[in-house]
Amino acid sequence: MKIDGSTQIVGVFGSPIAHTASPAMHNAALAAVKLNWCYLAFHVEPQNLRSALTGIRDLNCRGVNLTVPHKILALDIVDEVDADARKLGAVNTVVVKEGKLIGFNTDGYGFARGIKEDFDMTLKGKRVLILGAGGAGRAIAIQCTLDGATKVIVANRTPAKIAPIANEIAGTPTKFEAIGLDAESIQRVVTEVDLLVNATSVGLQPADSLGLPAGVFSPGLAVYDTIYRPAETQLLRQATDAGAKVSNGLSMLLHQGAKAFEIWTGRKAPLAVMRRALRTAVYGAQL
Q: CA–CA separation, 126 vs 193, rounded Å? A: 8
Helix axes 250-265 and 107-119, enclosed angle (nearest 10): 140
Could you tell me which residues come within 8 angstroms of residue 33 by beta carbon, excluding any fewer than 6 positions away?
265, 267, 270
How many Å separate Cα 114 from the centre of its chain? 10
Active site residues: 71
Beta strands in the chain (DSSP E): 8-14, 37-43, 63-66, 80-81, 93-97, 100-104, 127-131, 151-156, 175-180, 195-198, 222-225, 245-248
Instruction: Strand 100-104: give its sheet, edge to edge.
Output: 37-43, 8-14, 63-66, 93-97, 100-104, 80-81
Contact, 101 vs 94, CB < 8 A? yes
Radius of gyration of the chain (CA): 18
> How far from each other are the two terminal CA atoms of the chain, in whole angstroms?
24
Q: CA–CA separation, 60 vs 56, rounded Å? A: 6
